[in-house]
C-alpha cells in the first residue's frame, strides 16, 4: 500500500534496523526501499550531528512522499541530570540540533531517553535521584520551548533497568514530564522496555494518556512485531483509548554492525533477515492497529 487511510495510524521503520550511523548515501538507497514496502514514516537517529544533512534528507523524503521522525542517541557524554553546566549545555545543544533537523525534514517528534547516557546504571539514593530529576526537568524546559516554536514535540522514553537506573517505567517518566510541565514535552513508550518494566503495558499507555508523543514497537525479543508474546490487541486498544494518532515506529537493531549490536545487546539474529522485521512487522501492525 502506498497511501494510507487518513484515520489509520502511520507506521514507520527506524534505520537502526539496518544501519549505524545512517548517512545520506545509505539513506538514498534505504529510504526508497522503506517507502516501497509501504511504510508511511522513516525514523532517523541523530548519532552525531552531520551524519546526515537535513536539507538533503528533506528533499529525498519529499520526493518519496515519506514522513519522518527523529530519535536521539544518548552516548556517554550526553546528560541532563548532572551538576556540570557544560555537559548540560552541550546536551541541550545536541537536542536543539535534533529539533531543528526534525523541523527541516518535516518530523513532528524528537524522541529518546533524553535525560541520561544509555547504559548508566547503579543504585541511586532518594536525594540523588531527586536532584537528578530536578536538573533534567529544568534542562528539558528550554528545549521543549524551542521545540514548540518549531512545531516539534519531545518524547521522553523510559528504558529498561539494564540500560538506565533513572527512568524505567511510565510512572517515572510521567513524574519527569510533569515536572517539565510544557505541552511540547511528552512521552515515548517502547514495547520492548514496557515488556520488562511494566506490570501491564496497556495500563502504562493509559497512564501516560495524552502525554504520549511517540511509540516504538518491536517483538518482546526486539524481533518482528507479531512473532512474539506481546498482547498486541491490548496495546492497540490502549493506543486507541488514549487517542494516540501515531506514528508507531518499528525499532530494532542489526546484529551485523558491531557498534549497534553491542549498544543494544543483540547477540543473535532476531529474525531471518532485517528486512523481515520491517516487512512482516509492517503487515502485522497494519492488521492489529487497524
Residues interacting with a copy of itself, by CB under 8 A? Answer: 121-124, 160-163, 165, 168-169, 172, 195-201, 219-221, 223, 227-229, 231, 258, 261-262, 265-268
CA dihedral 121, 16, 267, 37 (to 10 degrees): 140
Closer to a copy of itself at the Cβ: 6 or 123? 123
Which residue among 47, 157, 197, 198 is the active-site one? 157
**CA distances for 269 relative to 48, 129, 261, 275, angstroms:** 26, 36, 10, 12
Closer to a copy of itself at the Cβ: 12 or 201? 201
We find the least distance from the C-beta atom of residue 187 to a copy of itself, in angstroms, to be: 18
User: Could you confirm whether 251 is annotated as catalytic?
Assistant: yes
- Quote the cell numbers at residue 223: 524481533
Phi, psi of 232 (to 5 degrees): -65, -30
C-alpha R_g of the chain? 18
CA distance 141 to 241: 28
User: Could you confirm whether 157 is annotated as catalytic?
Assistant: yes
We find the least distance from the C-beta atom of residue 166 to a copy of itself, in angstroms, to be: 8
Closer to a copy of itself at the Cβ: 62 or 121? 121
User: In the chain, which residue ranges form alpha helices assigned H by DSSP?
Assistant: 24-37, 54-64, 85-105, 126-149, 170-180, 191-197, 201-208, 232-241, 258-263, 274-289
Helix (H, G, I), strand (E, B) or coil at 112: strand
Closer to a copy of itself at the Cβ: 77 or 175? 175
Show which residues are catalytic: 157, 251
Amino acid at each position: 500500500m502506498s497511501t494510507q487511510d487518513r484515520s489509520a495510524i502511520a507506521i514507520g521503520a527506524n534505520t537502526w534496523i539496518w544501519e549505524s550511523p545512517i548517512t545520506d548515501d545509505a539513506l538514498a538507497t534505504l529510504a526508497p526501499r522503506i517507502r516501497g514496502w509501504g511504510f508511511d514514516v522513516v525514523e532517523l537517529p541523530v548519532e552525531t550531528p552531520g551524519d546526515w544533512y537535513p536539507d538533503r534528507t528533506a528533499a529525498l523524503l519529499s520526493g518519496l512522499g515519506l514522513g519522518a521522525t527523529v530519535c536521539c542517541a544518548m552516548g556517554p557524554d550526553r546528560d541532563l541530570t548532572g551538576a556540570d553546566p557544560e555537559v548540560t549545555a552541550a546536551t541541550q545543544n545536541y537536542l536543539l540540533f535534533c529539533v531543528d533537523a526534525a523541523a527541516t525534514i518535516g518530523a513532528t517528534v524528537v524522541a529518546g531517553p533524553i535525560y541520561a547516557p544509555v547504559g548508566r546504571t547503579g543504585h541511586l539514593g532518594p536525594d540523588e535521584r531527586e536532584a537528578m530529576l530536578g536538573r533534567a526537568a529544568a534542562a528539558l524546559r528550554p528545549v521543549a520551548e524551542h521545540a514548540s516554536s518549531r512545531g516539534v514535540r519531545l518524547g521522553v522514553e523510559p528504558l529498561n533497568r539494564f540500560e538506565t537506573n533513572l527512568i524505567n517505567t511510565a510512572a517515572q517518566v510521567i513524574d519527569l514530564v510533569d515536572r517539565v510541565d510544557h505541552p511540547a514535552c511528552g512521552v515515548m513508550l517502547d514495547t520492548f522496555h514496557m515488556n520488562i518494566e511494566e506490570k501491564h503495558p496497556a495500563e502504562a499507555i493509559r497512564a501516560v494518556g495524552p502525554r504520549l508523543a511517540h511509540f516504538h514497537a518491536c517483538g518482546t525479543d526486539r524481533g518482528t512485531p507479531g512473532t512474539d508474546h506481546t498482547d498486541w490487541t491490548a496495546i492497540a486498544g490502549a493506543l486507541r483509548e488514549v487517542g494516540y494518532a501515531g506514528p508507531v515506529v518499528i525499532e530494532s537493531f542489526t546484529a551485523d554492525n558491531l557498534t549497534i549490536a553491542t549498544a543494544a545487546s543483540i547477540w543473535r539474529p532476531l529474525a531471518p533477515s532485517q528486512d523481515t522485521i520491517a516487512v512482516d512487522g509492517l503487515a502485522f501492525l497494519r492488521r492489529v492497529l487497524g
